[in-house]
Structure 1
Amino acid sequence: GGMFWLLGVTPTEAQIKDIADWLLECHGDSTGLSTDSLADAGYPGAASLGDAVCGMAAARITSKDFLFWFRSHTAKEVKWGGAKHHPDDKDGRRMHPRSSFKVFLEVVKRRSLPWENVEMDAIHSLQLILRGSFQDIDDSETKTMIHARLNDLRV
């Protein structure tokens, strides 16, 4: 049991748990991750997310708590001027522009808009504020417990 608060277009809770587990396993020493392509970042379940979730920014707040932002694929305009021959075309046949363009569009389609520096700065600032808040809660609980024990000793 973790708790989830979802807003907007997001993966399912089970998919988010899987992403969090992947982050802990593969990026455990990191405080976060941002990418415009979960597939390129190495997330094994990226294909099952479809076009609705391609990009992600994750900020680790505590050892078990994360904040996630997700982005859908971008339909960015691509000016196509040709493609290199595929290595499998050993007999020197020309690649058909339509088929190579289709493959190229698939690659672009599986990406979100990149995360801007200003967005990452805002996410990092929020992460620091929330980490500080959680730290204060931990400290105040510890202080309350210590005060209670000291009071018990006085009796």
Structure 2
Amino acid sequence: MSTSSAEPPLPDGAGRPRRTSVELVAVRRRDLVPSSAAALEHVKHGAKNDPRYPSPRELRSVISFAIDLVAHWALAFLIAFPVSRLGIGSESFAPVLLVLAALVLFVLVSFVDRVLVQSVFGATVGKALTGLRMIRDDTGGPGTLWLFLRNWLLSILVVVGAALGP
């Protein structure tokens, strides 16, 4: 018997409806302390109205994204520059090879930082420098490898979609 997505979610053992999706939320590292606020169970972890995570984090999120973006491009070009100088093809092909290698390496570096590093440490390099951690909005616990992979793939789709235009 199949169930349609229009049906309400089944309740779990506590009588609350079971969530069908989980999102990752950036919060300040210093706010990650165990909370005994049972009355706040209806509030998503890390939401704007969640008193468990009082520190402002919007500017930190923007700064951490900028740090990550610069670090990913810098590392990609640092690796791609020697590759473009290997003498493959003619001299006129070297700039094209540099850009192509940098694009591929950017995607690879982005995957390593935003999926692998973040699933192990709970933060990318930029988030760690700005004191942010990624948590699940349903439990307040650390994100899983699948959640980080899903968010990374969605961000890649958004960038590709924006580059291709309407």
Shorter-chain-normalised TM-score: which range?
Answer: under 0.3
Structure having the higher strand fraction is 1
Structure having the higher helix fraction is 2
What's the TM-score once normalised by structure 1's chain length? 0.27
What's the TM-score once normalised by structure 2's chain length? 0.26
Q: Which has the larger radius of gyration?
A: 1
